[in-house]
Chains A and B, each alone.
Chain A
């Protein structure tokens, strides 16, 4: 059943629109990731849902319009990108803050704080001050504090982006586990598609203030709405015209105006439907990454490390249909690649 429903939401600064006509629906207990490049207005959208930005349009919770409800009565906890822990309070008092606001009895609050710190893996950190914590620890405390509010909706604003890569991956898994365990309905804003896949059930892709596509994460992933969305979702390259037809045919898929390819959609094999000449080789720990010139144009491909290929070699390519997506529209920036 639909819990959060956003319709026609607009936010503008000095007449410049930051969010234009945004619509979102989120069912109880699910996690939605809003994915978009930095500056696309996704944080502003989140803040508008929290009631921190003056906006037009409606934000409803179970059908009730929240326009007149101030932030502190919405029951939407917002976890900031940099935690925003209260610097003068200890970890335990930070986490216990929402409980004190609600006059939770002291013993009960203490037990709940300990439980939450345990949940985020920081048992025994209660007496520390925020300034003595590492970035990852601070984000965990911020998460525990947001959960302590028992929010109807948890809003996460780039919760992991301030952290380094390895920690980010570990915390993303933790975050998913914690949200599932707490059964929390949540909206997370991120610019990292892997983080979105790791944490969320649903996905909304945002660009230049507009939501361009939304739905269950697997569905969005399988069928990006347009080339930009495909590239942003982690597809390495978008081809259109005859090149697209050639590849779709090789993969045994129906004809489409454009096709988005993951880097691993094409693999070097002994005998495949596509042939070409290697123009670039890059060695990574797990595989060789190649650029191959075929009759469908330049494409990315991978090869296992034991294959001895170099620039100028002729190779055969196999096509994996599950690693490519047919697109309805032609690409505007087909040559853009992402690592």
Chain B
């Protein structure tokens, strides 16, 4: 009887996230997948194959695979030494450096695209390298974003790594290099594999960065879906590509889940003392410095350029944000877009927090039977799917399934926050799950036997542990929502744009004033997300940014 009550409670907690996920994720995505297979009212599997055989599609697939692979390798090559330096070596300003290097992860892709363009484009400081519009720029942009993921995931594991096995190896005569090879790296392997998988996933589904830096010459699967949908109106082609992407992403997520079967960040407690830097750390310090240059360079050139106007320092670009641009590039002033973005981000944040809290609660409560445990594992995986399914696919799916009865939501102002909340949901869940999972269920039981109702038990047991991670997750979701571009670009209405969409419009328009405005808007957007992320970083929640 109590068993039934448990299952009912489990179902009740899961039902809201499940309905939301069903309506706003499964329905749109499957609607879009359906487009690929059903053509002219009948099943057409061959159509998918035809699409995939087209030369430009095959080019896009190949481009995606190789850029993602190279970017993942580079992110690891730069990120691993940086993770070591920032978490194990006593260098001055370590905390600030760490916060700075983690910020890129939440920087809006459009902003980063603009910043890289400034650096390597015509008249930029490194224009002589001739990287403009080339694949090198795209790979650099991908590394810019994803090195922070490597630092986050592997650094956390490295920090809580028990130093004693390494010391034992050293006592047996192993050199530092041998300790690294034989003890440290094997122990960190799950974290490294997990980071690499997630980075590859993010690279393969990157949208804004490829669109702004690659233009029309280079396109990945993700941007190809976008072009097929919006420019060529080839929905079947877009759907076929989305299916391909969905399959690859699901496979990668399963691989990531396998790699993650290690203690979560919050579980390990050992905290090693920091070492003083020695000569042996020189390669790692150099790699960290290179990464720092890669991250700081574009940001600095963006800030500088936004403050230049007609060859002089000025705030003209920022003042122009009150207008709607030259030749009416926009329908509303940029300041309106700022307000709109903030409002949407607030909505997306509370939505993803509520959903994330419910999901995290469902998946972390102790299971009594094997079937119950299996059910919870399935739910866990299900709610991670939005992490991998491309935002473009999601936005496109919204367009084709939610625009007609019975779900006539095309013009609903809730649509964009919902889409953004779903994009942020996996991040929120990953922050909360290790924390909630780390709470001993018997503590709640102790409260119950002392006479505390379930709600009261929540207050005394869960709340003191969860409030900080909850705040961190809120900041994380807020920053992600502010910078979200892929799904939003499909759903946004011209008279109520968000800031990233406005920036993209402005850089697509020729003209100095519009370009200057795009720079100023980028600085504002980037500064806001960075500020939010720095606050989150101050909360020192170990599970932020681990996947």
Tell me the nearest residue of chain A to B445, going by C-beta: A52
Residue A97 interfacial (CB < 8 Å): yes
B6 within 8 A of A: yes
> B456 at the A/B interface (Cβ < 8 Å)?
yes
- Selected contact of B449 from candidates A54, A78, A87, A102, CB within 8 Å: A78
Q: 0/1 per residue, A47-74, Cβ < 8 Å to B?
A: 1001111110000000000010011111
- Chain A, Cβ-Cβ closest to B371: A14
> What sequence of 0s and 1s flags, for each residue 453-492 of chain B, a beta carbon within 8 Å of any chain A beta carbon?
1101100110011000000000000000000000000000
Which residues on the B side are within 8 Å of A80 (C-beta)?
A: 442, 445-446
Say whether B449 contacts A155, CB under 8 Å: yes
State whether B3 touches A89 (Cβ < 8 A).
Answer: no
A contact residues around B461 at 8 Å (CB): 86
Q: Which residues of B contact A102 (CB under 8 A)?
A: 451
CA distance A101 to B445 in the complex (A): 15
What distance in Å separates the Cβ of B451 from its nearest Cβ neighbour in chain A? Answer: 5
Report the minimum CB–CB distance from A178 to chain B (whole Å): 17
Q: Which residues of B have CB within 8 Å of A88?
A: 464-465
A263: Cβ under 8 A from any B Cβ: no
The residues of B that contact A97 with a CB separation of less than 8 Å are 447, 450, 452, 460
B 1-49 contacts with A by CB, 8 A: 1-3, 6
Task: Tell yes or no: B254 within 8 A of A by CB.
Answer: no
Alpha-carbon separation in the docked complex, A86 to B454 (Å): 15
Would you give the shortest CB distance from B337 to chain A, in whole angstroms? 43
- Of the candidates A47, A67, A70, A98, the one whose C-beta lies within 8 Å of that of B450 is A98
Q: With a CB–CB cut-off of 8 A, which chain B residues contact A51?
A: 2
Decide if A78 touches B446 in the complex (CB within 8 Å). yes
User: Closest residue of chain B to A50, judged by CB?
Assistant: B449
Determine whether A146 belongs to the interface, using a CB cutoff of 8 Å to chain B.
Answer: yes
Q: Are the C-beta atoms of B368 and A13 separated by less than 8 Å?
A: yes
Give complex CA distance A108, B300 in Å.
Answer: 63
Interface residue? A179 (CB, 8 A)? no
Please, which residues of chain A bring their CB within 8 A of the CB of B452? Answer: 72, 97, 101
Q: Contacts of A13 on B, CB cut-off 8 Å?
A: 368-369
Query: Is B448 close to A, CB under 8 A?
Result: yes
Q: Which residues of A contact B453 (CB under 8 A)?
A: 72
Q: Is the CB of A71 within 8 A of B448?
A: yes
Interface readout for B416-451 with A: 1 if CB under 8 Å, 0 if not? 000000000000000000000000101101111111
Q: Assuming A71-B449, A98-B451, is B2 touching A55 (CB within 8 A)?
A: yes
Give min CB distance, A148 to chain B, whole Å.
Answer: 8
B449 contact set on A, CB distance < 8 A: 50, 52, 71-72, 74, 76-78, 146, 149, 151, 155
Chain B proximity mask over A90-126: 1 for CB below 8 Å, otherwise 0: 0000000110011000000000000000000000000
Kindly list chain B residues whose C-beta atoms are within 8 Å of the C-beta of A289. none
Is A84 at the interface (CB under 8 A from chain B)?
yes
Among A72, A76, A78, the one with the most B-chain Cβ atoms within 10 Å of its Cβ is A72
Task: Determine the distance from Cα of A88 to Cα of B442 in the docked complex, in whole angstroms.
Answer: 15
Can you name the residue of chain B whose Cβ is closest to the Cβ of A142? B446
> Is A138 in the interface zone, CB < 8 Å from B?
no
**B370 proximal to A (CB < 8 A):** yes
* B445 in complex: contacting residue of A73, A75, A78, CB < 8 Å: A78
**Which of A71, A73, A89 has the most C-beta atoms of chain B within 10 angstroms of its own C-beta?**
A71
- Check A145 for interface membership: any CB of B closer than 8 A: yes
Interface string of A262-277 (1 = CB under 8 A from B): 0000000000000000
| A-contacting residues, B285-331, CB 8 Å | none
A198-230 vs B, Cβ < 8 Å mask (1 yes, 0 no): 000000000000000000000000000000000
Asked whether, in the complex, the Cβ of A101 is within 8 Å of the Cβ of B440, the reply is no
A86, A149, A155: which contacts B451 (Cβ < 8 A)?
A: A149
A54-B368 CB under 8 A given contacts A77-B450, A97-B460, A98-B450 = yes
Q: Which residues of A contact B464 (CB under 8 A)?
A: 86-88
Q: Which one of B370, B445, B457 contacts A14 once the chains associate, using CB atoms below 8 Å?
A: B370
**Pair B1/A67 contact, Cβ less than 8 Å:** yes
A84 x B450 contact (CB < 8 A) = no
Residue pair B450, A146 in contact (C-beta under 8 Å): yes
Give the docked Cα–Cα distance between A86 and B445 (Å). 11
- Mark B residues whose CB is within 8 Å of A: 1-3, 6, 368-370, 440, 442-443, 445-454, 456-457, 460-461, 464-465
Other A-B contacts than A53-B2, A84-B440, A86-B460, 5 sampled, CB-CB below 8 A, are A71-B445, A84-B443, A89-B460, A97-B447, A98-B451
Instruction: Sample 28 A-B pairs with CB under 8 A, ordered by A number.
Output: A50-B445, A51-B2, A53-B2, A54-B1, A55-B2, A71-B449, A72-B447, A72-B448, A72-B453, A72-B457, A73-B451, A75-B451, A76-B449, A77-B449, A77-B450, A78-B446, A84-B440, A84-B446, A86-B446, A87-B464, A88-B464, A89-B460, A97-B450, A101-B451, A148-B450, A149-B449, A149-B451, A151-B449
Contacts from A to B (Cβ < 8 Å): 13-14, 47, 50-55, 67, 70-78, 80, 84, 86-89, 97-98, 101-102, 145-146, 148-149, 151, 155
Ranked 4 nearest A-B pairs via Cβ:
A54-B2, A88-B464, A78-B449, A84-B446
